[in-house]
Amino acid sequence: MEIVAADIGGTHARFAIAEIREGRVASLGSETTLKTAAHASLPQAWEAFKRRLDRPLPSAAGIAMAGPIQGKILKLTNNPWMIRLASIGDELGVDQLALINDFGAVGHAVAQLDPDHFRHLCGPDQPLPAQGVISIIGPGTGLGVAQLLRRDGHYHVIESEGGHVDFAPLDSLEDRILDLLRSRYRRVSVERVASGLGLANIYQSLAQIEGQPIAYHDERELWEAAMGGTDQLAAAALDRFLLTLGAAAGDMALAHGADAVVIAGGLGARLADRLADSGFPTRFVAKGRFERRMETLPVKLITHPQPGLFGAAAAFAQEFGR
């Protein structure tokens, strides 16, 4: 059967037609990306997708949304659309609808994607396990965290707010970074350091520690300088970011009792060529008495270009496709 797959974020709404067969995603069509600011609501964007496709849309859909799927009205993160759960199916003209959090959708993508959509980062170079727990960590605008439990040919995606656990400094420099961030935030979560905005927080803290002026106030310019190595302080901030991400990913794996880890998120893909050769692997396994166990965990990077869209379709397939 065909369904509409949608991935609704703060800035963009992405749509595609997916084919579901035997409880899995058989194919995902080409993506249509719309700016959320250009449309007053999800139904309006839905109609715009329909006009671009120039064909009737299927009466079934899997939709991933950037925000918690709870309550009567969904308020999306960084998106002005208001979505009423009781009427959204009628408004979109669908009679089968799977709604899921955007990072939960990534968990479904990890569950159903073929092995060639994963790139080995560190640990044993072996496939993701068919049984057990996989921790999924997604540095992006925030820090997404989910668990995938595989057992007896079935799977369950467990969403979490793991990105909001406390930031735990591991050396004297991180102690100083934490002290400085405490003057700006009531509470310093790991997301304040190991997400898109985290690079700016680290960079500004290092500038203060070094007594240097802050040369970059634009996040995009800072990332370009850090990735390109054109500014020593920005590059140092990126090195520290990767250390912190490795420590956070290892912490999540320990907390979940994981058998493997997958790095997702927009920054994960952007940093693909740096993660393995950075401080990430060392910090990932540096867990004291559990270091040997951490060394046994394969760590992969998801490489599918649209895991949110694929995951939205996969969530529908799991709920309705069998």
> Is there a binding annotation on residue 6?
yes
Written as one string, the DSSP assignment of 290-312 is GHHHHHT--EEEE--S-HHHHHH
Number of domains in the chain: 2
Q: Is residue 155 part of a domain?
A: no
pLDDT in tens, 170-225: 999 999 999 999 999 999 999 999 998 999 999 999 999 999 999 999 999 999 99
Residues 278 and 166 in one domain: yes
Q: Which two tokens stand for residue 36?
A: 């959320």
Q: Which two tokens stand for residue 257?
A: 């009792």
The beta strands (E) that lie in the chain are given as 2-8, 12-21, 24-28, 32-35, 60-65, 73-75, 82-84, 96-101, 118-122, 132-139, 143-151, 154-160, 260-263, 299-302
Contact predicate 156/111, CB 8 Å: no
Position 79 pLDDT exceeds 80: no
pLDDT of residue 299: 98
Residues 295 and 184 in one domain: yes
Residues 287 and 182 in one domain: yes
pLDDT in tens, 235-274: 999 999 999 999 999 999 999 999 999 999 888 889 999 9
Residues 257 and 313 in one domain: no
The domain that holds 75 is classified in CATH as 3.30.420.40
Q: How far apart are CA 7 and CA 45, in angstroms?
A: 12
Name the more confident of 11 and 203. 203
> Is there a binding annotation on residue 10?
yes
Residue position matching structure tokens 């439990």: 149
> Is there a binding annotation on residue 36?
no
Residues 294 and 175 in one domain: yes
Residues 294 and 312 in one domain: no
Contact predicate 263/301, CB 8 Å: yes
Taking the CB of residue 276, how many other CB atoms lie within 10 A of it? 15
Q: Is residue 53 part of a domain?
A: yes
pLDDT of residue 75: 75
| Helix (H/G/I), strand (E/B), else coil: 140 | coil
pLDDT in tens, 23-49: 899 999 999 999 998 999 999 999 999
Position 59 pLDDT exceeds 70: yes
- Provide the phi-psi class of 37: left if phi over 0, else alpha when psi is between -120 and 50, else beta: alpha
In terms of DSSP bridges, do strands 96-101 and 60-65 run parallel, antiparallel, or are they unpaired?
A: parallel
Residues 296 and 308 in one domain: no
Q: What is the mean pLDDT of the chain?
A: 93
Domain enclosing residue 310, as ranges: 2-113+304-320
pLDDT of residue 77: 65
Residues 88 and 7 in one domain: yes
Q: Is residue 254 part of a domain?
A: yes
190, burial (CB in 10 Å: exposed 0-12, middle 13-18, buried 19+): buried
Position 302 pLDDT exceeds 80: yes
Q: Which two tokens stand for residue 140?
A: 């992006």
pLDDT in tens, 135-167: 999 998 889 999 999 999 899 999 888 999 999
Compute CA distances 116 → 47, 112, 120, 305, whole Å. Answer: 34, 12, 10, 12
Residues 288 and 308 in one domain: no
Residues 63 and 93 in one domain: yes
Position 169 pLDDT exceeds 80: yes
Task: Say how many CA atoms lie within 13 Å of 272 toward its Cβ.
Answer: 14
Handedness of CA 270, 298, 235, 142 (dihedral sign): positive
> Residue 78 — pLDDT band, cuts 50, 70, 90?
low
Q: How far apart are CA 47 and CA 317, in angstroms?
A: 23
Name the more confident of 295 and 70. 295
pLDDT of residue 275: 94
Q: Is residue 129 part of a domain?
A: no
> Is there a binding annotation on residue 32?
no
Distance of CA 296 to the CA centre of its chain: 24
49, burial (CB in 10 Å: exposed 0-12, middle 13-18, buried 19+): buried
Position 123 pLDDT exceeds 80: yes
288, burial (CB in 10 Å: exposed 0-12, middle 13-18, buried 19+): exposed
Q: Is residue 122 part of a domain?
A: no
Contact predicate 231/215, CB 8 Å: yes
> Is there a binding annotation on residue 179?
no
Q: Is residue 137 part of a domain?
A: no
Q: How far apart are CA 302 and CA 109, in angstroms?
A: 9
Q: Is residue 133 part of a domain?
A: no
pLDDT of residue 266: 85
Residues 208 and 93 in one domain: no
Residues 171 and 274 in one domain: yes
Q: Is residue 138 part of a domain?
A: no
In terms of DSSP bridges, do strands 60-65 and 82-84 run parallel, antiparallel, or are they unpaired?
A: unpaired
The domain that holds 279 is classified in CATH as 3.40.367.20
> Is there a binding annotation on residue 264?
no
